[in-house]
């Protein structure tokens, strides 16, 4: 199911602007500070502020899902909860593990004259901190993280991709998006941008294909080779 180098090269040929999901294609954000621990600390922050966790929050182990849940139940807490999560994400990225080949894709884009923007459900501040820490900020034209206090901006909503496209001032025909979740493919589709599915775990290839990914890759190195 994984694309051949030829298929990948064909998909990438017209591309002038690569949109990259962050958690997955660039690094594993929660490699050192696990997501369930981040969710637990987010709940703790809420209690420390004298608030009660809404129904369903106790069992939530996925930080963005928890942010959504709290913001839906208590819109008045959306901004502060988002800020608390952004701080935890900033801590998490310091212990994140780089994706093999992720950096090579950024370098390959620079060498082949393609612009890169990072489009992430994580906080833009945490994403930028990771890129700076790894000396990658010079390879990225723009970072489009979730809108602070507005979890509805997160993919599968195409909003962040549309913002990236707007900033570039070019149409979707020159873009490709690389993401590792079905919601990335859905966001791409809604923005009329084809998505390369990065299947970094067993079983993801079928999910990404079913969501409509144009091709599937199981390594970022393969993508970087096809870009050059
Ligand atoms: Mg991802």
For residue 220 the two structure tokens come to 């970022």
Q: In the chain, pLDDT over 70 holds for what percent of residues?
A: 100
In this structure, are strands 175-179 and 17-20 parallel, antiparallel, or unpaired? parallel
Q: Is 196 left (phi over 0), alpha (psi -120 to 50) or beta?
A: beta
- Cα(112) to ligand 1 centroid in Å equals 24
- Cα(179) to ligand 1 centroid in Å equals 6
- Of 68, 94, 120, the residue at which a domain comes to its end is 94
Same domain, 130 and 163: yes
Write the DSSP assignment of 156-212 as a string of letters.
TSSHHHHHHHHHHT--GGGEEEEESSHHHHHHHHHTT--EEEE--STTHHHHHHHHT
What stretches of the chain adopt beta strand conformation (E)? 17-20, 27-28, 97-98, 115-119, 142-144, 175-179, 195-198, 215-217
What are the distances in angstroms from CA 130 to CA 31, 122, 154?
13, 11, 19
- Tens of pLDDT, residue by residue over 90-140, are 999 999 999 999 999 999 999 999 999 999 999 999 999 999 999 999 999
25 near 180, Cβ under 8 Å? yes
Protein residues placing their CB within 5 Å of the ion ligand 1: 21, 23-24, 180
Domain count, the chain: 2
Same domain, 151 and 193: yes
Spatial distance between the Cα atoms of 93 and 126, rounded to a whole number of angstroms: 7
- Of 94, 113, 142, the residue at which a domain comes to its end is 94
Q: What is the mean pLDDT of the chain?
A: 97
- pLDDT above 90: residue 228: no
The CATH number for 25's domain is 3.40.50.1000
- Cα(50) to ligand 1 centroid in Å equals 32
Spatial distance between the Cα atoms of 138 and 131, rounded to a whole number of angstroms: 9
- Cα(194) to ligand 1 centroid in Å equals 16
- Tens of pLDDT, residue by residue over 190-208, are 999 999 999 999 999 999 9
Same domain, 124 and 154: yes
141 near 116, Cβ under 8 Å? yes
- Cα(185) to ligand 1 centroid in Å equals 11
Same domain, 57 and 163: no
- pLDDT above 80: residue 1: no
Task: Return the pLDDT at 62.
Answer: 94
Spatial distance between the Cα atoms of 219 and 26, rounded to a whole number of angstroms: 11
Same domain, 128 and 196: yes
- What residue numbers bound the domain in which 202 lies? 5-29+97-227
Same domain, 79 and 134: no
95 near 31, Cβ under 8 Å? yes
For residue 49 the two structure tokens come to 């502020």
- Cα(44) to ligand 1 centroid in Å equals 25
Same domain, 67 and 162: no
Write the DSSP assignment of 9-52 as a string of letters.
HHHHTT-SEEEE-SBTTTEETTSSS-HHHHHHHHHHHHHHTT--
């Amino acid at each position: 199911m994984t694309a051949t180098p030829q298929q990948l090269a064909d998909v990438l040929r017209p591309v002038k602007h690569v949109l990259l999901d962050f958690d997955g294609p660039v690094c594993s954000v929660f490699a050192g500070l696990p997501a369930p621990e981040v969710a637990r600390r987010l709940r703790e922050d809420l209690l420390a502020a004298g608030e009660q966790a809404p129904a369903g929050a106790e069992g939530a182990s996925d930080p963005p899902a928890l942010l959504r849940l709290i913001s839906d139940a208590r819109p008045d807490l959306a901004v502060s909860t988002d800020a608390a999560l952004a701080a935890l994400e900033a801590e998490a990225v310091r212990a994140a593990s780089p994706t093999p080949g992720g950096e090579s894709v950024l370098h390959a884009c620079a060498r082949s004259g393609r612009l890169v923007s990072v489009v992430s459900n994580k906080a833009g501040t945490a994403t930028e901190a990771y890129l700076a820490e790894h000396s990658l900020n010079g390879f990225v034209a723009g970072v489009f993280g979730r809108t602070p206090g507005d979890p509805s901006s997160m993919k599968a909503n195409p909003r962040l991709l549309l913002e990236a496209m707007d900033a570039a001032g070019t149409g979707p025909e020159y873009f490709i998006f690389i993401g590792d979740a079905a919601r990335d493919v859905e966001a791409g589709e809604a923005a009329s941008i084809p998505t390369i599915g990065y299947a970094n775990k067993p079983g993801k290839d079928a999910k990404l294909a079913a969501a409509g990914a144009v091709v599937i890759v199981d390594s970022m190195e393969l993508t970087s080779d096809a870009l050059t």
